[in-house]
Amino acid sequence: MTVRKHSRSPYWHYDFWYRGRRYRGSTKKASKVRAQEYEARLRCQVEHGRDPFQKYPLISDLLPQYLSWLEINRSAKHAKRTKLALSNVLNRMRKVKTTEDVTPARIEDFKKRRLKEVSPFTVNLELRHFKAFLRRCVKQGWLASMPLQIEQVKTPGRGRLVFLSLDEINPLLAELKPWAREAARLLLLTGLRLNEARFLEWSDIDLEAGELWVRNKPEYGFSPKDGKERPVPMPPELIEELRPRERKEGWVLPGKRGGQIGEKSFYLALLSASNAAGLAKRVTPHVLRHTYGSHLVMSGVDVQTVRDLMGHSSITTTAIYLHTDPKHRREAVAKLKLPAPKESEEKIIALRG
């Protein structure tokens, strides 16, 4: 441990190496004893892995902490997708080591090069994962503030929201096998996401109270979107359907071979049934959720209630259901009437004499 004094400086200076890196500079101390204490503290910080000259945290240090947080608080599937998206962003952003290096110019460069490989929707999805990573780091206290605002790529409109009209629901259900029909009816009557329904157990259902609970289930690697648990009231029609099948434990929706209903098998069953029913729409499990939200709004349920029922974090997401089908619009216009014109009263003139 040595400190030296330069002839032209009133301060003492340190100069040492640690694991191939050189640390040197002024102690800003005029006393040799104080300068040696300063150097000792500096060496201690370096040896314990804390770089005293690193003003901004390294992304390589933040990423493992974030992925560990995801494994605890999100589903394994979500954590896997996030890890892939962050890898795609960070591997294609040039010379990014710390959060200070994440600049608007580098984000724009990433967009330009990434758009040559994938669609704008995929680029925006990866950027959303990256923004969620930075926001979580700020929320956990690992990062002081967001380094920048990230704008997404402009995308072509997706067109109208796909949902089933009342005339299309029964033909679809008629073409489904019993195990898939039970699942489809549950989604149509509760608006659950597919995985929320797949991991629904009989212990989550209270038929007397007429509600079910969407819960976190880390033992199965399942977590609702954003980790939010919520109660969902069930209509009387669904309660009567579930009552004969009620069990003390086990999955509410068993698969075609028993056990838990398969994600892919149900997806393919819906596509096959929609083709057999002659529907022009590509019916997926999420279309059933869209159908639930759309018909709630068209029945006059306020948007805030629909938001709570569907578990949306933002009411702007729920706003996509503020639409109507052509038949509903025609019925609404048929109810429109103007007030009938009042008959003009004849003016009576009194005669004199």
Catalytic residue among 5, 81, 217, 328: 217
**What is the rounded CA–CA span in Å between residue 113 and residue 264?**
33
How many other β-carbons are positioned within 10 Å of the β-carbon of residue 138?
14
Kindly state the average pLDDT of the residues 278-291: 92
**What is the rounded CA–CA span in Å between residue 238 and residue 350?**
73
pLDDT band at 249 (very low <50, low <70, confident <90, very high): confident
**What is the rounded CA–CA span in Å between residue 193 and residue 263?**
11
Side-chain half-sphere exposure of 214, counting CA atoms within 13 A: 27
Catalytic residue among 128, 193, 230, 323: 193
Kindly state the average pLDDT of the residues 237-248: 92
pLDDT band at 349 (very low <50, low <70, confident <90, very high): low
- Residue boundaries of the structural domains of the chain: 3-47, 59-140, 166-333
Does 166-333 carry CATH code 3.40.50.300? no
75-103 tens-digit pLDDT? 788 888 999 999 999 998 877 888 888 88
Tell me if residue 34 is catalytic. no
Q: What percent of the chain has pLDDT over 90?
A: 41
Tell me if residue 6 is catalytic. no
| Residue of 240, 264, 252 whose CA lies nearest to 197 | 252
**What is the rounded CA–CA span in Å between residue 94 and residue 109?**
9
Does residue 159 surpass a pLDDT of 90? no
Contact 223, 75 (CB under 8 A): yes
Three-state SS at 212? strand
The β-bridge relationship of strands 21-26 and 3-5 is unpaired
pLDDT band at 332 (very low <50, low <70, confident <90, very high): confident
How far is Cα of residue 13 from the mean position of the Cα atoms in its chain? 52
**What is the rounded CA–CA span in Å between residue 305 and residue 311?**
10
**What is the rounded CA–CA span in Å between residue 258 and residue 120?**
40
Tell me if residue 307 is catalytic. no
Tell me if residue 23 is catalytic. no
pLDDT band at 55 (very low <50, low <70, confident <90, very high): low
Contact 271, 168 (CB under 8 A): no
**What is the rounded CA–CA span in Å between residue 242 and residue 32?**
82
Residue 92, judged by CB atoms within 10 A of its CB (0-12, 13-18, 19+), counts as middle
Contact 267, 280 (CB under 8 A): no
Q: Structure pTM? A: 0.62
pLDDT band at 11 (very low <50, low <70, confident <90, very high): confident
Contact 251, 261 (CB under 8 A): yes
Name the strands in the sheet holding 205-206, side by side, starting at the edge strand that comes first in the sequence: 205-206, 211-214, 230-233
Catalytic residue among 13, 198, 289, 290: 289
**What is the rounded CA–CA span in Å between residue 187 and residue 214?**
13
Catalytic residue among 14, 38, 292, 321: 321
How far is Cα of residue 182 from the mean position of the Cα atoms in its chain? 27
Tell me if residue 286 is catalytic. yes
Torsion over CA: 267, 268, 269, 270 (sign) = positive
The H or E element that residue 13 is part of is strand 12-18
Catalytic residue among 106, 286, 323, 328: 286
290-315 tens-digit pLDDT? 999 999 998 889 999 999 999 988 88
| Residue 230, phi then psi, degrees to nearest 5 | -155, 150
Tell me if residue 217 is catalytic. yes
Catalytic residue among 111, 114, 198, 312: 312
